[in-house]
Structure formats: C-alpha cells, structure tokens
Structure 1
Amino acid sequence: MNSLFPEEKIVFNLTDAEIEYYPDFFSSVKANDLLLKLQNEIPWQQDNITVYGKSHAQPRLTALFGNEGRPYGYSNIVMQPHHWSPLIIFIKEEVEKVCNETFTTVLLNLYRDGQDSNGWHADNEKELGRNPIIASVSFGSERVFQLKHNKLELKQNIVLQHGSLLIMKGTTQHFWKHQIPKTKKKIEARINLTFRIIK
C-alpha cells in the first residue's frame, strides 16, 4: 500500500488516551528495503543507564536525529542529534502526512533480539510539551507493545507489525506508561523510530 493513503486504521478507545494504529503503513516490500538501509546506515550506539545507583549497558542500541541544537534527554542520558539523512527524512515526511505535524526529532531503537527491551516509561519529558504527539514506526520482527494506566486497572497489548505506524497523542503520556518487554522467543532484529516535537 501507499503510506499516503493508509487502508486500515485502528483506533483504540482507551480511557485518558488517544492511540491510532496503522498495521500496514509501509508495504512489505518497502518495509524490507527500509529495514535493510536502517541496519546498515544508522550510526548505532549503546549508552549506559543508571538504575538504583548501578550503571548498566542499555538493553538496545540507539541513535538520535533531529534539528541542530535540539538534544534529547531521558533516564540520565543526553543525546546529541545527528543531522537529518535522506533516509530518515523520507520516513519522517511520510509520517508527517498522516499526523499533520512537523517533527523536530526522532529517536531510533535497535532491538537486536528478544532479550533487548525497553522498560516501563512515559514519553513525558518537559521538552516535549504538555500533550506530546509520538509517532512510532516499526520495522523487522514483531514485538508486543504493552501499555498500562497509571491509576486504573487498565492494560492494552498491541503487536507492532513490520512496516506499521503507531500514534500516541492527547493525554496518553500523562496517564499511561508503555514498554517493550523481553521475550524468550528466538526472533530477529526490530528497529523502531519514534518521532517527536521538542519545544
């Protein structure tokens, strides 16, 4: 399919959240091509994170692209952005056509296998503003994206498909946390791009 006209959009009717999911945002052929390029062209890095006073290697590889002078910080890590590349610009512009937003930054995550993960968190850093829109594109092996409400007994699992787009907006980051848990399944790599706007 052409991502200009997504054929299927799934809207999740969750309390305190606005979440849309396009399972086939990029065709399988285009997604395969983009995955290969992302694996080979991105300057991946592995930072250390501090948890309860102990430093550990982050359980995934990352990269940041964005507008000059717009660093992004989370979990005591401050990343400086690489200049936009033609590959990232292409994906960015396709996403922007659906979101009707102009993103300033994208954080990329490379999950090398099922043991790479991302723990419970919200994308609620102050530089993202009050009700940030987060647009997340996935390539590679499917992973389960888990959400849970901060106060209510509400949970939601979404299987993020190869070439899919997930959009979180409104008050989602105020009331919900999300994660990519580890899995014992033998799976191949997954690359995720989360586009955001730094105020």
Structure 2
Amino acid sequence: MTGDLFSANASASASANAPLLRPLPGTPGLQVWPAVLGASRANVLMDRLLASLPWSQPEVTVYGRTGPVPRLQSWHGDPDADYAYSGLPLPPRPWTPELDALRRTVEAVTGHRYNSVLANLYRNGEDTMGWHADDERELGPQPWIASYSLGATRDFTLRRKGQGRIEDRIALAHDQLILMPPAMQRLWEHALPRRARVSAPRLNLTFRLIRKTGR
C-alpha cells in the first residue's frame, strides 16, 4: 500500500514549501527542497524500493573501455519512454506503485511533468557517477530534471563544460529534492565522486520527460 506514504496532506505540505534557490551562473539556479515526504516516510519508501526494484549492473563503453557501471540501476516509465546513454539502451520497465506515487508528488512539488525515472543505487561510497550532462536527444532541448535522494548524504559536484575545476558542491541528503533547469545541462556537468568513508547506501531517483521526436 502506498497511501500511507503519499497522503494528500503530505504532498500538499511539500508543494506549499517554497524551494531554496542555489545560484548557478548562466542558469536561473538550482531549486532545492530540503524535505518532501518527511524522514520517517522517506525511510519506509527507501526500504520498499531497495527490496522491490529489479536492480541490475549493466556494462557500458566509455572512451573505448567496456565495463560494468559503478552502481546498480533500474529504469522505469511510460511504455514509449525509451532512453539510452553511453550506448546503453534502456527500455522502460513498468511503473511500480511506489515510483508512480512518488512521480505524482514530485510533479506537484516542481510543477513539471515526467514520464520516466532512473533509479541509481550507490551501495556505499565506492559507487559513483562520472562527469556528465543529461543532454541526450530524447530529453529535448529544454529538459527539466528532478532529482530525489534517499539514504546516505553524498556530494553532488558541478563544473562548467570544458573545464576541470569544480565550482560548486552540494551535499544531497535524505528526502531532499533538487530541480535542474535546462540551461544547466547545456552549460554544466555534474558528478557523484567516491567517498571512502561513506558505508551506507544512497538511492537517487531522477525524473525526466522523454520526448520521442527529441523536440
């Protein structure tokens, strides 16, 4: 049952809270909601997703090298929400009740529509995400992407495209939601670096709108 986690009162409370604005040059800024469901509901949601999602560790080819991605993942969405990155095709698995209910909550909070979600499970601080921008053709020229975090706090690092210096770092915490504006994917890259001292898992869910024509 998902009603105990996604009550109308909880969703209304989250959407009524004005987000914090994190300045980012060349963009309107990142919007940050420090809490969406509340810690106890978020704890239950994380346990359910860890146990129920069909986690996998596919191989990708990056710069001519093929190997498993350094994390587990699960792609879900509407039937036509096909997606691919680094040459890896991701046909969508159906929405689970928890993911669909969370999608509705994130839509109410951010004011944007989503038809897919990529769940990434970082089992500990050794699991990572390399530098990238979510600028695939399927996302269209103006992608709004919502990223919801559960579990261990991890650093979200940012740098301008074509540059190596890290310009910003955000500690993404349990039950925290950020909304990335389209200009961020055009001008910036982001990553989740290794953190050897982190032993607990982190689950991240990035909600996207796949556009079949790329427009």
* TM-score under structure 1 length normalisation: 0.94
User: 2:79 corresponds to which residue?
Assistant: 68
Offset from partner CA, 1:18-66 (integer Å, 9 cap, x none): 3111111220001100000010010001100112322111100011110
The one of 93, 98, 113 equivalent to 2:109 is 98
Give 1:187 shift: 2.1
C-alpha distance in 2, partners of 1:16/1:105?
27
User: 1:197 corresponds to which residue?
Assistant: 209
| 1:183 is aligned to 2:195 | yes
C-alpha distance in 2, partners of 1:112/1:11?
29
User: 1:11 corresponds to which residue?
Assistant: 21
CA contact (8 A) 1:8 1:24 kept: no
Give 1:151 shift: 5.4
Runs of 4+ in 1 over 6 A off after TM superposition: none
The one of 162, 167, 181 equivalent to 1:155 is 167
Where do 1:75-114 residues align within 5 Å?
Answer: 75-114=86-125
C-alpha distance in 2, partners of 1:189/1:182?
13
What letter corresponds to residue 168 of structure 1 in structure 2?
A: M
CA contact (8 A) 1:151 1:175 kept: no
User: 2:51 corresponds to which residue?
Assistant: 40
CA contact (8 A) 1:61 1:111 kept: yes
Offset from partner CA, 1:121-146 (integer Å, 9 cap, x none): 00000110112000000001010001
Find the residue that maps to 1:2 and give its secondary structure: helix
User: 5+ unaligned residues in a row in structure 1: which ranges?
Assistant: none
Find the residue that maps to 1:106 and give its secondary structure: strand
CA contact (8 A) 2:117 2:208 kept: yes
Q: 128-137 or 51-60: which moved more?
A: 51-60
Q: 152-161 or 14-23: which moved more?
A: 152-161
* TM-score under structure 2 length normalisation: 0.88
**Bigger strand fraction:** 1
CA contact (8 A) 2:130 2:192 kept: yes
C-alpha distance in 2, partners of 1:3/1:64?
24
What letter corresponds to residue 192 of structure 2 in structure 1?
A: I
Find the residue that maps to 1:135 and give its secondary structure: strand
C-alpha distance in 2, partners of 1:89/1:186?
29
C-alpha distance in 1, partners of 2:156/2:18?
19
Question: What is the RMSD of the two structures over their aligned residues, measured on CA atoms?
Answer: 1.6
Aligned length: 199
C-alpha distance in 1, partners of 2:117/2:34?
20
User: 1:134 corresponds to which residue?
Assistant: 145
What letter corresponds to residue 130 of structure 1 in structure 2?
A: P
Find the residue that maps to 2:13 and give its secondary structure: coil
What letter corresponds to residue 158 of structure 1 in structure 2?
A: I
C-alpha distance in 2, partners of 1:189/1:195?
20
Find the residue that maps to 1:63 and give its secondary structure: strand
What letter corresponds to residue 41 of structure 2 in structure 1?
A: K
Give 1:72 shift: 0.8
C-alpha distance in 2, partners of 1:119/1:169?
20
The one of 41, 50, 71 equivalent to 2:61 is 50
